[in-house]
Amino acid sequence: MILTMHPSLSALVLTVVVGLIVGTINAMAGGASIISYPVLLALGLAPINAAITNALGVSSANFFALGGSKKRFKDLFYLYRMQIIASVICSIIGALLLLSMPPGVFEKIVPFLLLGATLTFLIPVGTVRKLKRKSFETLLIGASGLYCGYFGPGQGVMVVAALARDSESKTKDLNGAKNIIVGITSLASNLIYIFSGKAQWWFVVALLIGSSLGGIQGGRWAKLASPEFYRRIVFIVGMCASLWLFVKYFF
């Protein structure tokens, strides 16, 4: 069943604008879907519906990111194939867990999920100590895939933190590997979301339009401002939204 909520024109315009902001920041720094999720909640979507709608609506950012890695896609895909497989499998499990979760339970969990996603921005991804065991790295990437399927925002930061190396040659491919892993992982969970009957398609389309335009613009602006500046904006918004959700669902 496809949900048939008909939002007002002002709600759709706001969603497009939010998508534009999210797409721009994602292209420059990443993680901005933390912003769009609480906006969807404020517009009246239920938590699970908002999570699914948000994931589908900002999916264009993942495709833009993959486009930036197309020159080395084959090599990076082969190099990180085990991590990709683990992430995709765990993402599917996470998506199925989300769809089977009672709404009341998810409402109590989601403030912690959003807070956790926001706190990932404190991870010093450039200085994460070397992971000596490849199997442990695969386990971490699989865990990020489970998180992606179940909630989503902040996965890219988790993946970068897990992949970070001491070797300079590896560091050069870090962002490309992250884009491939996150892009393919989100594609797997999104296929499940499409047929879940819980997506609010008016909002999905509005977010998709905004995030696509923002992704194009953000790519042009990427060298004009420090990504760290935009990451700080996302962190502040995420912390405020987390506080709002704690108040909303616990007080």
> Please, are residues 105 and 206 in contact by the beta-carbon 8 Å criterion?
no
**pLDDT at site 2:** 46
Q: What's the whole-model pTM score?
A: 0.82
Query: For residue range 8-38, what is the model confidence (pLDDT) as tens digits?
Result: 999 999 999 999 998 888 776 667 788 899 9
**pLDDT at site 127:** 47
Residue 77 has pLDDT above 80, yes or no: yes
Band of pLDDT at residue 160, cut at 50, 70 and 90 = confident
The dihedral sign for the CA sequence 189, 231, 200, 243: positive
Instruction: Tell which residue, 10, 63, 28, 66, has the closest CA to residue 217.
Output: 28
Work out the end-to-end distance of the chain between its first and last CA atoms, rounded to an integer number of angstroms: 33
**pLDDT at site 167:** 43
Band of pLDDT at residue 97, cut at 50, 70 and 90 = very high
Band of pLDDT at residue 95, cut at 50, 70 and 90 = very high
Residue 155: how many other CB atoms lie within 10 Å: 28
Instruction: Tell which residue, 183, 218, 161, has the closest CA to residue 20.
Output: 218
Band of pLDDT at residue 169, cut at 50, 70 and 90 = very low
Band of pLDDT at residue 168, cut at 50, 70 and 90 = very low
d(CA 31, CA 50): 16
Of residues 49 and 59, more confidence is placed in 49
List Cβ neighbours of 142 (8 Å cut-off, separation of 6 or more).
83, 86, 87, 89, 90
> Please, are residues 217 and 24 in contact by the beta-carbon 8 Å criterion?
yes
Residue reference for tokens 């970068």: 160
121-137 average pLDDT score:
61
**pLDDT at site 137:** 80
31-53 average pLDDT score:
90
**pLDDT at site 34:** 85
Please give the share of the chain, as a percent, with pLDDT higher than 70. Answer: 79
d(CA 41, CA 162): 30
DSSP 42-95: HTT--HHHHHHHHHHHTHHHHHHHHHTTGGGHHHHHHHTHHHHHHHHHHHHHHH
Instruction: Tell which residue, 246, 237, 238, has the closest CA to residue 111.
Output: 246
Q: Would you state the structure tokens that stand for residue 85, as one six-digit string? A: 């497989």
**pLDDT at site 223:** 58
Residue 203 has pLDDT above 70, yes or no: yes
